[in-house]
Amino acid sequence: MNEFSGLTFSVTDDRLVVSICPPNVRPDLDLDSLRVLLTEAGLGNWRLAKEAAQNLLECYGASTSEMELTIAERCDASFTLEIAPDAMQVWANVVPACGGEDLDPDEIKQALIDAGVTFGIDSSAVSAACALDFAERMLVAAGQPAEDGINAHFEMLVADTRDRRPQVSEGGLIDFRELGAIPMVAAEQPLMRRIPPTTGTAGRNVRGEIIEPVPGQDALFDEGLIGAYIDKEDASLLRAVFSGQPVRVGHGANVEQVLTIRQVNMASGNIGFDGTVNIEGDVSPGMKVRASGDIVVGEVVDGAELDAGGDIRVAGGIIAQARVRAGGSVSARFVESAHVFSGTTIAIDDTALQSELQANNQIIVGIKSTQRGRLAGGSAKAMMLIKTPILGSPTGGVTNLVLGVNPALDAQYQDLLKVIEKQREEENKLEMLVKHMTKIGDKSGMLERAKASWEQAIKAWAKLLPQRDELERQLALIAGARVEVGMSMAGAVDMLFGKKVSRLRKTYETGSFSIEGDHVVFTDKEGNVSPAA
Protein backbone atom coordinates (compact mmCIF):
# COMPACT_ATOMS: atom_id res chain seq x y z
CA MET A 1 0.00 0.00 0.00
CA ASN A 2 1.24 3.49 -0.80
CA GLU A 3 -0.36 6.89 -0.21
CA PHE A 4 0.52 10.17 -1.87
CA SER A 5 -1.54 13.36 -1.68
CA GLY A 6 -4.85 11.57 -1.56
CA LEU A 7 -3.84 8.56 -3.67
CA THR A 8 -3.52 5.12 -2.13
CA PHE A 9 -2.30 2.16 -4.24
CA SER A 10 -3.00 -1.43 -3.23
CA VAL A 11 -2.99 -4.88 -4.82
CA THR A 12 -6.12 -6.95 -4.28
CA ASP A 13 -6.94 -10.24 -5.97
CA ASP A 14 -4.45 -9.66 -8.82
CA ARG A 15 -5.82 -6.20 -9.35
CA LEU A 16 -4.08 -2.85 -8.90
CA VAL A 17 -6.50 -0.56 -7.14
CA VAL A 18 -6.19 3.11 -6.38
CA SER A 19 -8.24 4.89 -3.72
CA ILE A 20 -8.77 8.62 -4.17
CA CYS A 21 -9.35 10.79 -1.10
CA PRO A 22 -9.67 14.43 -2.19
CA PRO A 23 -6.88 16.30 -0.35
CA ASN A 24 -7.09 19.90 0.75
CA VAL A 25 -4.20 20.73 -1.53
CA ARG A 26 -3.83 18.77 -4.76
CA PRO A 27 -0.33 18.73 -6.28
CA ASP A 28 -0.09 18.55 -10.06
CA LEU A 29 -0.44 15.02 -11.39
CA ASP A 30 0.21 13.94 -14.94
CA LEU A 31 1.02 10.64 -16.63
CA ASP A 32 4.78 10.91 -15.99
CA SER A 33 4.23 11.75 -12.32
CA LEU A 34 1.87 8.79 -12.03
CA ARG A 35 4.52 6.43 -13.40
CA VAL A 36 7.06 7.81 -10.91
CA LEU A 37 4.62 7.20 -8.07
CA LEU A 38 4.06 3.59 -9.17
CA THR A 39 7.80 2.97 -9.40
CA GLU A 40 8.46 4.47 -5.97
CA ALA A 41 5.70 2.27 -4.61
CA GLY A 42 7.40 -0.83 -6.03
CA LEU A 43 4.64 -1.21 -8.59
CA GLY A 44 6.60 -0.14 -11.67
CA ASN A 45 6.04 -3.48 -13.42
CA TRP A 46 2.30 -2.81 -13.55
CA ARG A 47 1.45 -1.43 -17.01
CA LEU A 48 -1.52 0.88 -17.13
CA ALA A 49 -3.78 0.96 -20.13
CA LYS A 50 -3.99 4.44 -21.62
CA GLU A 51 -7.71 4.68 -20.95
CA ALA A 52 -7.32 3.60 -17.30
CA ALA A 53 -4.52 6.11 -16.69
CA GLN A 54 -6.48 8.94 -18.31
CA ASN A 55 -9.57 8.08 -16.25
CA LEU A 56 -7.49 8.18 -13.04
CA LEU A 57 -6.03 11.60 -13.88
CA GLU A 58 -9.48 13.01 -14.63
CA CYS A 59 -11.02 11.59 -11.45
CA TYR A 60 -8.08 12.81 -9.32
CA GLY A 61 -8.49 16.33 -10.60
CA ALA A 62 -12.28 16.46 -10.31
CA SER A 63 -13.27 14.17 -7.42
CA THR A 64 -15.07 15.70 -4.46
CA SER A 65 -15.57 12.49 -2.50
CA GLU A 66 -13.69 9.29 -1.84
CA MET A 67 -13.68 6.77 -4.67
CA GLU A 68 -11.88 3.58 -5.69
CA LEU A 69 -10.70 2.61 -9.22
CA THR A 70 -9.21 -0.57 -10.66
CA ILE A 71 -6.46 0.62 -12.97
CA ALA A 72 -4.76 -2.64 -13.96
CA GLU A 73 -4.99 -6.41 -13.70
CA ARG A 74 -2.04 -8.68 -13.05
CA CYS A 75 -0.69 -10.76 -15.96
CA ASP A 76 2.64 -12.32 -16.84
CA ALA A 77 4.60 -11.25 -19.90
CA SER A 78 3.89 -13.28 -23.03
CA PHE A 79 5.08 -13.61 -26.60
CA THR A 80 4.36 -15.35 -29.88
CA LEU A 81 6.79 -16.07 -32.71
CA GLU A 82 6.17 -15.13 -36.32
CA ILE A 83 8.31 -16.78 -38.99
CA ALA A 84 8.44 -15.24 -42.48
CA PRO A 85 7.18 -17.46 -45.34
CA ASP A 86 10.69 -17.58 -46.81
CA ALA A 87 12.15 -18.45 -43.38
CA MET A 88 14.52 -15.50 -43.58
CA GLN A 89 13.19 -13.57 -40.57
CA VAL A 90 11.58 -14.28 -37.21
CA TRP A 91 9.72 -11.72 -35.12
CA ALA A 92 8.67 -11.94 -31.48
CA ASN A 93 5.32 -10.30 -30.71
CA VAL A 94 5.84 -9.31 -27.08
CA VAL A 95 3.22 -8.31 -24.51
CA PRO A 96 5.03 -7.06 -21.34
CA ALA A 97 4.13 -8.14 -17.81
CA CYS A 98 1.60 -6.26 -15.78
CA GLY A 99 2.48 -6.92 -12.17
CA GLY A 100 3.47 -10.46 -13.13
CA GLU A 101 6.58 -12.30 -14.25
CA ASP A 102 8.83 -10.75 -16.91
CA LEU A 103 10.09 -12.72 -19.87
CA ASP A 104 13.29 -14.71 -19.58
CA PRO A 105 15.56 -14.49 -22.70
CA ASP A 106 16.22 -18.23 -22.42
CA GLU A 107 12.49 -18.82 -22.74
CA ILE A 108 12.37 -17.05 -26.10
CA LYS A 109 15.55 -18.77 -27.29
CA GLN A 110 14.14 -22.17 -26.40
CA ALA A 111 10.90 -21.37 -28.22
CA LEU A 112 12.97 -20.43 -31.29
CA ILE A 113 14.83 -23.74 -31.17
CA ASP A 114 11.55 -25.63 -30.70
CA ALA A 115 10.25 -23.85 -33.84
CA GLY A 116 13.26 -25.06 -35.82
CA VAL A 117 15.14 -21.76 -35.76
CA THR A 118 18.82 -22.64 -35.48
CA PHE A 119 20.57 -19.85 -37.39
CA GLY A 120 20.75 -16.08 -37.08
CA ILE A 121 19.34 -15.71 -33.55
CA ASP A 122 20.10 -12.21 -32.27
CA SER A 123 20.73 -12.54 -28.51
CA SER A 124 20.80 -8.77 -27.95
CA ALA A 125 17.44 -8.38 -29.70
CA VAL A 126 15.99 -11.20 -27.57
CA SER A 127 17.17 -9.47 -24.38
CA ALA A 128 15.78 -6.15 -25.60
CA ALA A 129 12.41 -7.81 -26.29
CA CYS A 130 12.30 -9.12 -22.72
CA ALA A 131 12.96 -5.61 -21.37
CA LEU A 132 10.15 -3.94 -23.30
CA ASP A 133 7.57 -2.06 -21.25
CA PHE A 134 5.09 -1.83 -24.12
CA ALA A 135 3.71 -4.27 -26.67
CA GLU A 136 6.03 -4.53 -29.66
CA ARG A 137 6.92 -6.68 -32.67
CA MET A 138 10.68 -7.18 -32.67
CA LEU A 139 12.98 -8.96 -35.09
CA VAL A 140 14.87 -11.62 -33.11
CA ALA A 141 16.41 -13.79 -35.84
CA ALA A 142 17.43 -13.26 -39.45
CA GLY A 143 18.92 -15.48 -42.13
CA GLN A 144 21.87 -14.63 -44.34
CA PRO A 145 20.66 -13.86 -47.89
CA ALA A 146 22.55 -15.40 -50.75
CA GLU A 147 24.68 -12.98 -52.74
CA ASP A 148 24.03 -13.59 -56.41
CA GLY A 149 26.96 -13.76 -58.75
CA ILE A 150 28.05 -10.76 -60.80
CA ASN A 151 27.70 -10.99 -64.57
CA ALA A 152 30.81 -10.89 -66.68
CA HIS A 153 31.69 -7.30 -67.53
CA PHE A 154 34.29 -5.44 -69.51
CA GLU A 155 36.68 -2.81 -68.19
CA MET A 156 38.36 -0.34 -70.51
CA LEU A 157 42.08 -0.04 -69.82
CA VAL A 158 42.49 3.12 -71.91
CA ALA A 159 41.60 6.56 -70.58
CA ASP A 160 39.25 9.01 -72.37
CA THR A 161 37.78 6.46 -74.72
CA ARG A 162 34.24 7.14 -75.92
CA ASP A 163 31.39 4.86 -76.80
CA ARG A 164 29.76 6.15 -79.99
CA ARG A 165 26.41 4.63 -79.14
CA PRO A 166 24.17 7.54 -78.00
CA GLN A 167 23.10 7.47 -74.35
CA VAL A 168 19.42 8.40 -74.24
CA SER A 169 17.77 9.71 -71.07
CA GLU A 170 14.24 8.81 -69.94
CA GLY A 171 13.06 12.06 -71.52
CA GLY A 172 14.40 10.98 -74.91
CA LEU A 173 17.36 13.39 -75.02
CA ILE A 174 20.86 12.24 -75.87
CA ASP A 175 23.64 12.96 -73.41
CA PHE A 176 25.92 14.98 -75.69
CA ARG A 177 29.62 15.17 -74.91
CA GLU A 178 32.25 16.97 -76.97
CA LEU A 179 34.90 14.87 -78.62
CA GLY A 180 37.88 16.76 -77.23
CA ALA A 181 41.30 15.43 -78.17
CA ILE A 182 41.55 12.14 -80.03
CA PRO A 183 42.53 9.37 -77.57
CA MET A 184 45.36 7.25 -78.95
CA VAL A 185 46.80 3.80 -78.26
CA ALA A 186 49.93 2.07 -79.51
CA ALA A 187 50.19 -1.33 -81.16
CA GLU A 188 49.98 -4.21 -78.66
CA GLN A 189 48.68 -1.89 -75.94
CA PRO A 190 46.03 -3.49 -73.67
CA LEU A 191 42.59 -2.07 -74.48
CA MET A 192 40.03 -3.91 -72.42
CA ARG A 193 39.86 -6.62 -69.80
CA ARG A 194 37.01 -9.09 -69.46
CA ILE A 195 36.10 -9.63 -65.82
CA PRO A 196 34.72 -13.19 -65.54
CA PRO A 197 31.37 -13.81 -63.82
CA THR A 198 31.31 -14.82 -60.18
CA THR A 199 29.39 -17.74 -58.74
CA GLY A 200 28.05 -15.76 -55.80
CA THR A 201 27.93 -16.64 -52.11
CA ALA A 202 25.46 -19.11 -50.61
CA GLY A 203 23.15 -17.95 -47.84
CA ARG A 204 21.23 -19.66 -45.04
CA ASN A 205 17.72 -19.21 -43.74
CA VAL A 206 16.83 -19.23 -40.04
CA ARG A 207 16.36 -23.00 -40.17
CA GLY A 208 19.97 -23.37 -41.27
CA GLU A 209 19.02 -24.46 -44.78
CA ILE A 210 21.41 -23.47 -47.56
CA ILE A 211 20.18 -20.88 -50.09
CA GLU A 212 21.96 -21.26 -53.39
CA PRO A 213 22.95 -18.04 -55.20
CA VAL A 214 22.19 -17.27 -58.84
CA PRO A 215 25.52 -17.42 -60.67
CA GLY A 216 26.50 -14.49 -62.88
CA GLN A 217 26.03 -14.83 -66.62
CA ASP A 218 29.08 -15.19 -68.79
CA ALA A 219 29.86 -13.06 -71.83
CA LEU A 220 32.70 -13.11 -74.32
CA PHE A 221 34.37 -10.45 -76.40
CA ASP A 222 32.36 -9.56 -79.50
CA GLU A 223 33.43 -11.13 -82.74
CA GLY A 224 34.61 -9.13 -85.75
CA LEU A 225 36.41 -6.39 -83.80
CA ILE A 226 38.52 -4.10 -85.95
CA GLY A 227 42.11 -3.37 -84.98
CA ALA A 228 41.93 -5.45 -81.79
CA TYR A 229 42.70 -9.06 -80.91
CA ILE A 230 42.39 -11.38 -77.91
CA ASP A 231 45.70 -12.10 -76.20
CA LYS A 232 46.76 -15.71 -76.89
CA GLU A 233 48.04 -16.18 -73.35
CA ASP A 234 45.16 -14.37 -71.63
CA ALA A 235 41.71 -14.93 -73.13
CA SER A 236 40.32 -12.11 -70.97
CA LEU A 237 42.62 -9.41 -72.38
CA LEU A 238 42.05 -7.39 -75.56
CA ARG A 239 45.03 -5.75 -77.26
CA ALA A 240 45.49 -3.25 -80.09
CA VAL A 241 46.66 -4.57 -83.44
CA PHE A 242 48.04 -1.19 -84.52
CA SER A 243 48.24 2.40 -83.32
CA GLY A 244 45.07 4.42 -83.57
CA GLN A 245 41.92 5.66 -81.84
CA PRO A 246 40.14 3.20 -79.48
CA VAL A 247 36.35 3.20 -79.66
CA ARG A 248 34.29 1.04 -77.33
CA VAL A 249 31.67 -1.09 -79.10
CA GLY A 250 29.53 -3.34 -76.92
CA HIS A 251 31.66 -6.16 -75.48
CA GLY A 252 34.86 -4.99 -77.06
CA ALA A 253 36.72 -2.10 -78.63
CA ASN A 254 37.78 -1.22 -82.15
CA VAL A 255 40.97 0.59 -82.97
CA GLU A 256 40.46 3.05 -85.78
CA GLN A 257 43.49 4.28 -87.62
CA VAL A 258 43.92 8.05 -87.43
CA LEU A 259 45.02 10.14 -90.39
CA THR A 260 46.49 13.47 -89.32
CA ILE A 261 47.06 16.15 -91.95
CA ARG A 262 47.83 19.87 -91.80
CA GLN A 263 44.93 21.03 -93.98
CA VAL A 264 42.72 19.89 -96.85
CA ASN A 265 43.12 21.88 -100.07
CA MET A 266 44.04 21.39 -103.71
CA ALA A 267 47.51 20.25 -102.70
CA SER A 268 46.24 17.43 -100.44
CA GLY A 269 43.28 16.52 -102.64
CA ASN A 270 40.03 15.06 -101.34
CA ILE A 271 40.31 12.71 -98.39
CA GLY A 272 38.64 9.31 -98.07
CA PHE A 273 39.78 7.27 -95.06
CA ASP A 274 38.65 4.15 -93.21
CA GLY A 275 39.14 5.48 -89.70
CA THR A 276 39.38 8.90 -88.07
CA VAL A 277 40.67 12.02 -89.84
CA ASN A 278 42.35 14.75 -87.78
CA ILE A 279 42.76 17.99 -89.75
CA GLU A 280 44.88 20.53 -87.92
CA GLY A 281 43.92 23.53 -90.08
CA ASP A 282 41.20 24.51 -92.57
CA VAL A 283 39.19 22.58 -95.11
CA SER A 284 39.19 24.74 -98.25
CA PRO A 285 36.23 25.44 -100.59
CA GLY A 286 35.18 22.62 -102.88
CA MET A 287 37.15 19.93 -100.99
CA LYS A 288 35.61 16.68 -99.71
CA VAL A 289 36.52 14.65 -96.61
CA ARG A 290 34.96 11.28 -95.91
CA ALA A 291 35.79 9.06 -92.92
CA SER A 292 34.26 5.92 -91.45
CA GLY A 293 35.14 7.23 -87.97
CA ASP A 294 35.32 10.82 -86.69
CA ILE A 295 36.43 14.00 -88.42
CA VAL A 296 38.15 16.64 -86.29
CA VAL A 297 38.91 20.04 -87.82
CA GLY A 298 41.22 22.47 -86.03
CA GLU A 299 40.00 25.62 -87.81
CA VAL A 300 37.27 26.42 -90.41
CA VAL A 301 35.24 24.37 -92.88
CA ASP A 302 34.84 26.84 -95.77
CA GLY A 303 32.46 25.75 -98.52
CA ALA A 304 33.66 22.14 -98.24
CA GLU A 305 31.91 18.81 -97.75
CA LEU A 306 32.43 16.56 -94.71
CA ASP A 307 30.91 13.10 -94.23
CA ALA A 308 31.68 11.01 -91.13
CA GLY A 309 30.34 7.71 -89.84
CA GLY A 310 31.06 8.93 -86.31
CA ASP A 311 31.16 12.48 -84.92
CA ILE A 312 32.37 15.73 -86.46
CA ARG A 313 34.03 18.43 -84.37
CA VAL A 314 35.01 21.76 -85.86
CA ALA A 315 37.00 24.11 -83.65
CA GLY A 316 36.17 27.07 -85.90
CA GLY A 317 33.12 27.69 -88.04
CA ILE A 318 31.19 25.96 -90.80
CA ILE A 319 30.53 28.56 -93.50
CA ALA A 320 29.88 29.43 -97.15
CA GLN A 321 27.45 26.67 -98.16
CA ALA A 322 29.59 23.95 -96.58
CA ARG A 323 27.81 20.60 -96.25
CA VAL A 324 28.50 18.58 -93.11
CA ARG A 325 26.96 15.18 -92.37
CA ALA A 326 27.70 12.92 -89.37
CA GLY A 327 26.27 9.61 -88.25
CA GLY A 328 26.86 10.83 -84.69
CA SER A 329 27.02 14.38 -83.33
CA VAL A 330 28.27 17.63 -84.89
CA SER A 331 29.85 20.43 -82.88
CA ALA A 332 31.27 23.75 -84.07
CA ARG A 333 32.02 27.23 -82.79
CA PHE A 334 29.55 28.83 -85.22
CA VAL A 335 27.60 28.01 -88.39
CA GLU A 336 26.71 30.49 -91.13
CA SER A 337 25.09 29.84 -94.51
CA ALA A 338 25.81 26.11 -94.29
CA HIS A 339 24.06 22.74 -94.28
CA VAL A 340 24.56 20.50 -91.23
CA PHE A 341 23.05 17.06 -90.63
CA SER A 342 23.57 14.99 -87.47
CA GLY A 343 22.39 11.51 -86.57
CA THR A 344 22.11 12.62 -82.94
CA THR A 345 22.91 16.17 -81.80
CA ILE A 346 24.10 19.48 -83.26
CA ALA A 347 25.91 21.59 -80.65
CA ILE A 348 27.04 25.12 -81.53
CA ASP A 349 29.11 27.25 -79.16
CA ASP A 350 27.99 30.65 -80.46
CA THR A 351 25.57 31.34 -83.34
CA ALA A 352 23.80 29.63 -86.23
CA LEU A 353 22.76 32.06 -88.96
CA GLN A 354 20.95 31.46 -92.27
CA SER A 355 21.75 27.74 -92.19
CA GLU A 356 19.92 24.47 -92.70
CA LEU A 357 20.30 22.37 -89.55
CA GLN A 358 18.87 18.88 -89.02
CA ALA A 359 19.43 16.57 -86.03
CA ASN A 360 17.64 13.34 -85.24
CA ASN A 361 17.53 14.31 -81.55
CA GLN A 362 18.38 17.88 -80.57
CA ILE A 363 19.94 21.17 -81.67
CA ILE A 364 21.67 23.30 -79.02
CA VAL A 365 22.94 26.79 -79.85
CA GLY A 366 24.92 29.15 -77.59
CA ILE A 367 26.63 26.54 -75.41
CA LYS A 368 29.50 28.93 -74.64
CA SER A 369 27.59 32.15 -75.29
CA THR A 370 24.53 31.89 -73.08
CA GLN A 371 23.73 35.62 -73.31
CA ARG A 372 24.41 36.34 -77.01
CA GLY A 373 24.09 33.00 -78.79
CA ARG A 374 21.52 33.19 -81.58
CA LEU A 375 19.63 30.91 -83.97
CA ALA A 376 18.27 33.03 -86.82
CA GLY A 377 17.22 32.51 -90.43
CA GLY A 378 17.24 29.29 -92.39
CA SER A 379 15.73 26.21 -90.79
CA ALA A 380 16.33 23.92 -87.83
CA LYS A 381 14.79 20.46 -87.59
CA ALA A 382 15.03 18.22 -84.51
CA MET A 383 12.94 15.43 -83.04
CA MET A 384 13.10 16.38 -79.34
CA LEU A 385 14.65 19.78 -78.61
CA ILE A 386 15.84 23.05 -80.12
CA LYS A 387 17.53 25.29 -77.57
CA THR A 388 19.02 28.76 -78.05
CA PRO A 389 19.52 31.94 -75.99
CA ILE A 390 18.09 34.20 -78.73
CA LEU A 391 15.70 32.99 -81.44
CA GLY A 392 15.05 34.86 -84.67
CA SER A 393 16.08 38.33 -85.84
CA PRO A 394 14.00 41.53 -86.02
CA THR A 395 15.73 42.53 -89.28
CA GLY A 396 16.21 39.12 -90.91
CA GLY A 397 13.94 36.71 -92.73
CA VAL A 398 11.77 33.94 -91.35
CA THR A 399 13.36 31.36 -89.05
CA ASN A 400 11.75 27.96 -89.64
CA LEU A 401 11.69 25.35 -86.86
CA VAL A 402 10.43 21.80 -87.24
CA LEU A 403 10.05 19.53 -84.20
CA GLY A 404 8.63 16.14 -83.37
CA VAL A 405 9.62 14.67 -86.72
CA ASN A 406 12.08 11.84 -87.28
CA PRO A 407 11.65 10.46 -90.81
CA ALA A 408 14.29 7.77 -90.30
CA LEU A 409 12.65 6.48 -87.11
CA ASP A 410 9.17 6.58 -88.65
CA ALA A 411 10.37 4.74 -91.77
CA GLN A 412 12.03 2.10 -89.60
CA TYR A 413 8.78 1.67 -87.66
CA GLN A 414 6.65 1.35 -90.82
CA ASP A 415 9.05 -1.21 -92.31
CA LEU A 416 8.96 -3.24 -89.10
CA LEU A 417 5.14 -3.22 -89.09
CA LYS A 418 5.15 -4.65 -92.62
CA VAL A 419 7.53 -7.43 -91.59
CA ILE A 420 5.42 -8.23 -88.51
CA GLU A 421 2.27 -8.37 -90.60
CA LYS A 422 3.94 -10.69 -93.11
CA GLN A 423 5.20 -12.95 -90.33
CA ARG A 424 1.74 -12.95 -88.76
CA GLU A 425 0.10 -13.98 -92.04
CA GLU A 426 2.61 -16.80 -92.46
CA GLU A 427 1.94 -17.98 -88.90
CA ASN A 428 -1.84 -17.92 -89.51
CA LYS A 429 -1.47 -20.00 -92.67
CA LEU A 430 0.62 -22.61 -90.87
CA GLU A 431 -1.85 -22.69 -87.98
CA MET A 432 -4.73 -23.40 -90.39
CA LEU A 433 -2.67 -26.09 -92.10
CA VAL A 434 -1.89 -27.84 -88.81
CA LYS A 435 -5.55 -27.73 -87.73
CA HIS A 436 -6.69 -29.04 -91.12
CA MET A 437 -4.20 -31.92 -91.12
CA THR A 438 -5.10 -32.77 -87.54
CA LYS A 439 -8.78 -32.91 -88.49
CA ILE A 440 -8.50 -35.02 -91.66
CA GLY A 441 -5.58 -37.16 -90.55
CA ASP A 442 -1.90 -37.13 -91.36
CA LYS A 443 -1.86 -39.46 -94.39
CA SER A 444 1.24 -37.85 -95.93
CA GLY A 445 3.28 -37.77 -92.70
CA MET A 446 3.69 -33.98 -92.86
CA LEU A 447 1.96 -32.99 -89.62
CA GLU A 448 5.06 -32.91 -87.41
CA ARG A 449 6.98 -30.84 -89.94
CA ALA A 450 4.04 -28.45 -90.24
CA LYS A 451 3.87 -28.11 -86.44
CA ALA A 452 7.60 -27.39 -86.28
CA SER A 453 7.29 -24.75 -88.99
CA TRP A 454 4.32 -23.23 -87.16
CA GLU A 455 6.27 -23.02 -83.90
CA GLN A 456 9.21 -21.37 -85.68
CA ALA A 457 6.85 -18.84 -87.29
CA ILE A 458 5.37 -17.99 -83.90
CA LYS A 459 8.85 -17.45 -82.42
CA ALA A 460 9.94 -15.31 -85.37
CA TRP A 461 6.81 -13.18 -85.09
CA ALA A 462 7.08 -12.81 -81.30
CA LYS A 463 10.76 -11.87 -81.55
CA LEU A 464 9.85 -8.73 -83.50
CA LEU A 465 7.34 -7.45 -80.94
CA PRO A 466 9.91 -6.03 -78.46
CA GLN A 467 11.50 -4.11 -81.35
CA ARG A 468 8.09 -2.70 -82.25
CA ASP A 469 7.41 -1.72 -78.63
CA GLU A 470 10.77 0.06 -78.36
CA LEU A 471 10.16 2.03 -81.56
CA GLU A 472 6.68 2.99 -80.35
CA ARG A 473 8.22 4.15 -77.08
CA GLN A 474 10.69 6.35 -78.93
CA LEU A 475 8.00 7.75 -81.22
CA ALA A 476 5.80 8.51 -78.21
CA LEU A 477 8.56 10.72 -76.81
CA ILE A 478 8.01 13.08 -79.74
CA ALA A 479 4.96 14.46 -77.91
CA GLY A 480 7.42 16.05 -75.46
CA ALA A 481 9.31 18.01 -78.15
CA ARG A 482 9.98 21.64 -77.25
CA VAL A 483 11.79 24.85 -78.15
CA GLU A 484 13.67 26.50 -75.27
CA VAL A 485 14.51 30.21 -75.45
CA GLY A 486 17.06 31.34 -72.86
CA MET A 487 16.80 35.12 -73.36
CA SER A 488 14.27 36.23 -75.98
CA MET A 489 12.58 35.63 -79.34
CA ALA A 490 12.04 38.32 -81.94
CA GLY A 491 11.27 38.65 -85.62
CA ALA A 492 9.39 36.12 -87.75
CA VAL A 493 9.50 32.51 -86.55
CA ASP A 494 7.44 29.65 -87.96
CA MET A 495 7.18 26.55 -85.78
CA LEU A 496 5.94 23.18 -86.98
CA PHE A 497 5.19 20.61 -84.27
CA GLY A 498 4.36 17.44 -86.18
CA LYS A 499 1.56 18.77 -88.39
CA LYS A 500 0.66 21.84 -86.30
CA VAL A 501 2.02 25.13 -87.65
CA SER A 502 2.32 28.28 -85.57
CA ARG A 503 3.51 31.51 -87.22
CA LEU A 504 4.92 33.80 -84.55
CA ARG A 505 5.41 37.50 -85.18
CA LYS A 506 5.74 39.01 -81.73
CA THR A 507 8.43 39.22 -79.09
CA TYR A 508 8.73 36.62 -76.33
CA GLU A 509 10.99 36.61 -73.30
CA THR A 510 12.56 33.58 -71.57
CA GLY A 511 10.46 30.44 -71.82
CA SER A 512 9.64 27.42 -73.96
CA PHE A 513 7.27 26.44 -76.76
CA SER A 514 5.61 23.03 -76.87
CA ILE A 515 2.51 21.27 -78.14
CA GLU A 516 -0.50 20.89 -75.85
CA GLY A 517 -3.43 19.10 -77.41
CA ASP A 518 -3.88 20.70 -80.83
CA HIS A 519 -2.21 23.98 -79.91
CA VAL A 520 1.30 25.35 -79.66
CA VAL A 521 1.70 26.99 -76.26
CA PHE A 522 4.32 29.20 -74.63
CA THR A 523 5.40 28.63 -71.02
CA ASP A 524 7.20 31.59 -69.45
CA LYS A 525 9.89 31.36 -66.77
CA GLU A 526 7.23 31.70 -64.06
CA GLY A 527 5.40 28.64 -65.37
CA ASN A 528 2.47 30.54 -66.88
CA VAL A 529 1.09 28.87 -70.03
CA SER A 530 -0.53 30.78 -72.90
CA PRO A 531 -1.35 30.05 -76.55
CA ALA A 532 1.46 30.92 -78.94
CA ALA A 533 0.23 33.19 -81.70
**Over its length of 533 residues, how does the chain's per-residue pLDDT go in tens digits?**
445 567 777 777 777 777 777 766 666 677 777 777 777 776 766 766 667 777 777 777 677 677 777 776 777 888 999 999 999 999 999 988 776 788 899 999 999 999 999 999 999 999 999 988 778 899 999 999 999 999 999 999 986 545 555 555 555 565 554 444 567 889 999 999 999 999 999 999 999 999 999 999 999 999 999 999 999 999 999 999 998 888 888 899 999 888 889 999 999 899 999 888 999 999 999 999 999 989 999 999 999 999 999 899 999 999 999 999 999 899 999 999 999 999 889 999 999 999 999 998 899 999 999 889 999 999 999 988 999 999 999 887 899 998 876 666 667 778 888 888 888 888 788 778 777 777 777 667 677 777 787 788 777 777 778 877 776 666 666 677 889 999 999 899 999 887 788 899 889 999 999 888 778 889 998 889 888 87
Render 13-63 in DSSP notation, one character per residue: TTEEEEEE---SS-----HHHHHHHHHHTT-TTPPPPHHHHHHHHHHHHH-
Measure the CA–CA gap between 435 and 310, rounded to whole angstroms: 52
pTM: 0.57
Measure the CA–CA gap between 226 and 329, rounded to whole angstroms: 22
CB atoms within 10 A of CB 395: 7
Q: HSE, CB side, 13 Å, CA atoms: give it for residue 466.
A: 3
Tell me which of 94, 119, 142 is where a domain ends: 142
Q: What are the tens digits of pLDDT across the range 64-90?
A: 677 777 776 777 888 999 999 999 999
368 assigned to some structural domain: no
**Number of structural domains, the chain?**
3
198 assigned to some structural domain: no
450 assigned to some structural domain: yes
Tell me which of 434, 449, 478 is where a domain ends: 478
Say what the pLDDT of residue 307 is. 97
Q: Looking at the structure, do residues 83 and 108 belong to the same domain, yes or no?
A: yes
Beta bridge partners, 174, equal: 168
Q: HSE, CB side, 13 Å, CA atoms: give it for residue 183.
A: 18
Are 163 and 245 in contact by the 8 Å Cβ rule? The answer is: no
Q: Looking at the structure, do residues 69 and 83 belong to the same domain, yes or no?
A: no
Tell me which of 457, 478, 499 is where a domain ends: 478
Say what the pLDDT of residue 407 is. 62
Q: HSE, CB side, 13 Å, CA atoms: give it for residue 399.
A: 26
Are 470 and 405 in contact by the 8 Å Cβ rule? The answer is: no
469 assigned to some structural domain: yes
Say what the pLDDT of residue 198 is. 95
350 assigned to some structural domain: no
Q: Looking at the structure, do residues 66 and 25 belong to the same domain, yes or no?
A: yes
Q: Looking at the structure, do residues 65 and 110 belong to the same domain, yes or no?
A: no
27 assigned to some structural domain: yes
Say what the pLDDT of residue 494 is. 93
Q: Looking at the structure, do residues 12 and 69 belong to the same domain, yes or no?
A: yes
CB atoms within 10 A of CB 145: 14
Say what the pLDDT of residue 301 is. 97
Domain with 49, as residue range(s), is 2-73
46 assigned to some structural domain: yes
Say what the pLDDT of residue 1 is. 45
392 assigned to some structural domain: no
